[in-house]
Structure 1
């Protein structure tokens, strides 16, 4: 069977959805920093924006992007996941980064990170949001971007050496390139889809970090006004995810039936299995109960969040990031075909089930 991790196709082309998603994540920390500065001076916000633009459009383009295969393959304008449509003002440099260039990159990046700190330290919530936004960007790009990136000269690349060599030998392919023997080809295209057969502990760590951002925002908003309702919210979250969801949704999932008496899921790790597996798709009643539970968890903190607009914004954005990321990078590889959000193509499901 295929590897438990989603180390699949190398990404030779980026779609509009890729660019929208990654630029959204990239803009979040800059936006938080700008909000902190704007409370004191709009002029310094303009300075910060100029610093960010100089880094991304000059320093990054010259000292990082010029070495990148996406940049080298682009004609006229950059066809990149982060800087789409930007003119290629620097010549291609298909050679490794020199030490001098790495120093320039570091010196150029530091002002973007550090410039807003003077204003952020005055507001602990904004400072926390700033740190979390950068952490979320780096963790997500390292987890889902670097593993499929053909910028082999990047110092944080994660593509194995054998994959890089094979790709270079077959670099005439125009679509997503794949070398795994355990892939399922999508009919009518050159694309291959891998399925995640099991989750790893690092999956659990990443997704619980993302989940805790929104739960913390909600819990903090409630806690400002009522300790009792905070405990009620904590109870609701535990009851939903550990009892209600496990009984009506998780028991139908192939991941649930694996690994003995404890869960090994990207959302729940080492939790006891309270219910027996049900190896058939969830019914309408199961989905209704699960949906009502989710709605209760999401809507419960709204009355308190409406009183704390910053936390409401953090809560809303974190939910959006959670949904976009799981839909984009997990649902298309998940073997829980009974889930209404599963995005694995029908022909891939059939081929996978025939090989089981």
Structure 2
């Protein structure tokens, strides 16, 4: 095979949010295919907030990406050669294949075969991938949302937040989205169906929450931590449930930033706050993906994608997420 394998490599260790300068685009040969493995030609790479933790040398649920290695990340692509009986040439697969045009896999880092051929394969990295299942289990299991609950979502226009808001509407909840611009407020209201929106850059969040949630917040899906979450904590309804999904507002984790204490609010509201990651639910992924796909087909869910082109654009993708510049699930089209 004479094709070039282009990869986005972590070339230096960031402290905090990875920037374009921490990555290098490298070309090399397509790797040889060993027994028991498949060769996947990727078509889309995913940019996710979790990659910040994978690039940093800090305690995490996965070891840090090694310097000089392709950036760890989710990708979808076609099996173009197989020496593994579980996968046939021509099948679409998605998983932690990394930011390389061609990826070798023994199957252990493939999450699933993408069988929703009536939907774009890129959706397997967003609404039908980690983002969708994170929203699904975080809202249904951790938050235990039910009809008539008031659900508040931070980063409400993002890939996870927009799914949370829409699933909450399917359940019959009232939804309040916190986001960062007038454009994203319009997106939340017009495309994702939020009942109320708050622009944290231009509004006093605590004051806006008092108006938007007169009976308090029953469920808070927290993608930010920081000042936004501090404001939400002062408006918890009795029996509130809080899912800690992300920490986008924290520029650095060392030292751990200290904000207002939440103990009193949790006590008075008899509230429950729990952190989680989607991988906790890996055996249940098929259940979630099947339901999400059905909601997409019926029009009850809508997916917004923000697509960058080529490996060079990928170098700044993670930083772009944290600058809040994307207007949907951030993806890189490989070729």
Please indicate, yes or no, whether the TM-score normalized by the shorter chain is above 0.5: no
TM-score (structure 1 length as normaliser): 0.27
Q: Higher helix fraction: Structure 1 or Structure 2? A: 1
TM-score (structure 2 length as normaliser): 0.28
Q: Higher strand fraction: Structure 1 or Structure 2? A: 2
